[in-house]
Amino acid sequence: MRKPTTNRPATILLTALAPVSWGTTYAVTTEFLPADRPLFTGMMRALPAGLVLLGLARVLPRGVWWGKAAVLGALNIGAFFPLLFLSAYRLPGGMAAVVGSVGPLIVVGLSAVLLGQRPTARSVLTGLVAAFGVSLVVLRAAGALDAVGVLAALAATASMSAGTVLTKRWGRPEGVGPLALTAWQLTAGGLLIAPLALLVEGAPPALDGRAVGGYLYLALANTAVAYWLWFRGIGRLTATQVTFLGPLSPLTAAVVGWAALGQALTPVQLAGMALAFGATVAGQLGVRQPRVGRTFGPAGGKGAAEALRGVPRAL
């Protein structure tokens, strides 16, 4: 079995393209898509992307991987998308992004429990700096916080964080690449969202050319390609490394808002961007190389145990 090369600049940069792409979601949603259709939008992001990738991969789960794919699809897509949109609709300003920026800290804790990676003062401090930097960029003054919105944002962050760590722990079935794993999760997540969208939002809205273009971008570049890069990165980097790339999403959203939507950036926001970006870079440094292959055997077993022993134990 090949030994992976981890912590390479090329791998990190390619993985970073995922949260950078996700940072364009807000602008595309507000400028091109029907209003007040978060569940339909979540389904249109996930299900078409999953089916396209499934057609390319031409591999279905086997055995226990039917259940694992469903769990990962629910955590990373099926629960994450609706909770994320619910929090965005109910919270003021960028509060949802601020709550989401604690994701690296959740992953640090879950990695200690599930992957045996002991948290270090450096990783915790880096996570706090990233969250503080994001708060300076996106947080606006104001009103009372909605309890449901805050809980939804926390649940979305915890769901994606747990999905990231479990994706790292379970790896992939022998001989299955990240394309198939991404296809399984997006398809499972989209199928979970579809009936919920129909029950809550009713029949799909009529779509004009702008909306069709927006959904094509979200499904293909923003979801299919981005999630493939994300899960590929999880297979080659540590879970903590990958999640420390997450702050690039709100930073990208701020830059797109400034460049394309005419939103001003204050000196405080620029300072926050520098802090969050610095924390993102720091989260990639000083990580030991894994010594084992990226894939686990179909049933876990001895191969999985040996693989877990090879995971880096500290940042």
Q: Is residue 303 part of a domain?
A: no
Nearest alpha-carbon partner for 191 in 78, 45, 64, 53 = 78
pLDDT digits (tens, 9 = 90+) for 96-145: 666 777 778 888 888 888 888 887 887 888 888 888 888 887 766 455 66
The structure's pTM equals 0.81
Q: Is residue 196 part of a domain?
A: yes
Looking at the structure of the chain, the number of domains it has is: 1
Are residues 84 and 151 in contact, defined by beta-carbon separation less than 8 angstroms? no
For residue 6, CA distances in Å to 237, 244, 256, 293 come to: 6, 15, 30, 11
Side-chain half-sphere exposure of 61, counting CA atoms within 13 A: 20
Q: Is residue 308 part of a domain?
A: no
Nearest-angstrom CA–CA distance, 313 and 42:
35
Range of the domain at 59: 9-287
pLDDT of 62 reads: 94
Q: Is residue 144 part of a domain?
A: yes
Q: Is residue 271 part of a domain?
A: yes
Highest mean pLDDT of the ranges 86-90, 152-156, 228-232, 268-272: 228-232
Q: Is residue 272 part of a domain?
A: yes
Are residues 163 and 72 in contact, defined by beta-carbon separation less than 8 angstroms? yes
* 240 — pLDDT class (breaks 50, 70, 90): confident
Q: Is residue 258 part of a domain?
A: yes
Q: Is residue 297 part of a domain?
A: no
